[in-house]
Amino acid sequence: MSEDKKNDSPQEAERTTFQEQPLIKITQREIQEEIADERNARNLRKRLLPRALLVGVVAGLIAAAFRYSLHFLGEWRVGLLESQSGGGVTKMWIPILMVSLGAGTSVWMVRTWSPASAGSGIPQLKGVLLHLRRMNWLSVLAVKFFGGLLAMGSGLALGREGPMVQMGGAAGKLVGRVLGMTQAERFILIAAGGGAGLSAAFNAPLAGLIFVLEEISRAFTPVVFFAGLLATVAADTVSRVLLGQEPVLRVDAVDIPSLAVFPVFLVVGVVAGVLGVAFNRGLVGSLRCFDHTKTWPAWLVGLIVGVMVGSVGWFFPNLLGSGHTVTMQALAGELAIGSILVFFVIRFFMTMVSYGCGAPGGIFAPVLVLGSLLGLALGLLAQKYYPVAIDQPGVFAVVAMAAFFTAVVRAPLTAIILILEMTNSYSLMLPLLGACLTAYMVAEGMRDRPIYEVLMERDLKQQRERVKDAERERA
């Protein structure tokens, strides 16, 4: 080998190797097909994006009406319980009757008109997008809206986001059918509508978009991305115009935590991962228990739930409904360790019963309540036993909400963006990343499946059983 060859630089060798590669043969037909595909994709975006904007507006209007009605019913419920609080235990029948009527009526509506409206509705929406079930948009909208108001307004420990996601998906199908869209285009609008519902539920458009990509459709195509983005922004805009622009959760501004505190956030992730798995298994266990009541009258199921949830609500009225007041107390660091433990156990139990009975309602809000209580407890312990811990234990509540959500749903990006948008705590990005990824790995290491995956599989099995029963009756 010559001396010149030995002295060639690596860059020159790479360039020579690259230049010696044979050219790829491309036919005129392949070029035309590629151009045609690009043109078709561009035309599809032009056709879909205005429709996605309309879906966002419709979903935003539905969500705003739902949120306002829930707020009104929540204030009425709190006022009623406060006015009767002087009556002692003898007035406990009031919350029991209230919850029994709400739970019983909403369960009856689900059984009679729309079994697909039970629970959060997100697993059912995923089944639709996977072409495994159908959606009757009219019955879903009616039962989810009015049944959800009865269930959550009466005090069941459920969240508004699940119904809003499913109603947003129903709005997408409605718009797609009215405007004569193809089936493939309607599915894109359904997914975008689901994200729009989450966006309007929490004033969190980016979280709604990420939820569409990460959990609902799991398809990161340009069309789905831009349709979801337009729908979520439109829904959030409508919601803010009608209900105001205040963050859903107010948190005092905090500085970027010191890296010396970072190990504590990893501990938060570990604990959240373990308890998130317990939440998932408890929820599925509750559903199995209530399976034995499917042949019972809806009023009897409502009475059972009313006794269990309503009696607790008489002593702790703030634990009824979404639990927003408790979450705010946790974020402000206003609860003691003893109260936190009691509230966590009670709220955990109430969520299992409220969701298990089959009433319309989601688990996002209950998960965030439990996460905030868990985080505050760990923050207070860190202050006591870890000298470098920050002086605001509520910061740990913010981080634990995202970590607990991650462990339950297994959607870390959605969890992080959702909490950032809900609290405006962008200085906590690194702790959120550390805690959420830790919670994710712990939950996966425990061989636990994401809750919506389990619920979707369960829903599809029940749907198959209903079809078989109908076929036997016709035979």
Indicate if 174 and 221 belong to the same structural domain.
yes
Indicate if 379 and 238 belong to the same structural domain.
no
473 pLDDT above the threshold of 50: yes
Indicate if 177 and 269 belong to the same structural domain.
no
Section 231-247 average pLDDT: 93
Among the listed residues 205, 148, 192, 178, the one whose alpha carbon sits nearest the alpha carbon of residue 53 = 192
347 pLDDT above the threshold of 50: yes
Indicate if 319 and 398 belong to the same structural domain.
yes
In a domain, 173, yes or no: yes
DSSP secondary structure of 155-199? T-S-BSHHHHHHHHHHHHHHHHHHTT--HHHHHHHHHHHHHHHHH
pLDDT digits (tens, 9 = 90+) for 283-321: 999 999 999 998 999 999 999 999 999 998 888 888 999
| 281 vs 384, residue with greater confidence | 281
4 pLDDT above the threshold of 70: no
**301-313 burial by CB neighbour count: b if 16+ within 10 A, else e?**
bbbbbbebbbebb
| 17 vs 435, residue with greater confidence | 435
In a domain, 467, yes or no: no
In a domain, 38, yes or no: no
Note the pTM of the prediction, 2 decimals: 0.89
Residue-averaged pLDDT of the chain: 88
Indicate if 220 and 280 belong to the same structural domain.
no
Distances 440 to 149, 220, 264, 275 between C-alpha atoms, Å: 33, 21, 16, 12
Q: What is the pLDDT of residue 430?
A: 93
Query: Range of 189's domain?
Result: 46-76+89-243
| 331 vs 221, residue with greater confidence | 331
Q: What is the pLDDT of residue 75?
A: 92
Q: What is the pLDDT of residue 86?
A: 63
- Domain CATH code at residue 143: 1.10.3080.10
In a domain, 473, yes or no: no
In a domain, 54, yes or no: yes
32-46, 101-115, 381-395, range with greatest mean pLDDT: 101-115
Give the number of other Cβ atoms within 10 Å of residue 256's Cβ.
Answer: 11
Q: Which of 185, 215, 243 represents a domain boundary (last residue)?
A: 243
Indicate if 144 and 54 belong to the same structural domain.
yes
Q: How confident is the model at residue 24 (pLDDT cuts 50, 70, 90)?
A: low
pLDDT digits (tens, 9 = 90+) for 132-188: 888 999 999 999 999 999 999 999 999 999 999 999 999 999 999 999 888 888 999
Q: What is the DSSP letter of 257?
A: P
Q: How confident is the model at residue 233 (pLDDT cuts 50, 70, 90)?
A: very high
Indicate if 412 and 314 belong to the same structural domain.
yes
Indicate if 338 and 454 belong to the same structural domain.
yes
Residue 267's SS3 state is: helix
Contact 292, 284 (CB under 8 A): no
In a domain, 325, yes or no: yes
Q: Into how many domains does the chain fold?
A: 2
Indicate if 305 and 222 belong to the same structural domain.
no
Q: What is the pLDDT of residue 18?
A: 47
Q: Which of 243, 267, 282 represents a domain boundary (last residue)?
A: 243
Indicate if 409 and 449 belong to the same structural domain.
yes
Give dist(CA 36, CA 390) in Å, integer.
58
In a domain, 81, yes or no: no
Indicate if 330 and 231 belong to the same structural domain.
no
Indicate if 106 and 143 belong to the same structural domain.
yes
Question: What one-letter code names the amino acid at 341?
Answer: L
Q: Which of 215, 243, 271 represents a domain boundary (last residue)?
A: 243
In a domain, 356, yes or no: yes
Give dist(CA 350, CA 156) in Å, integer.
8
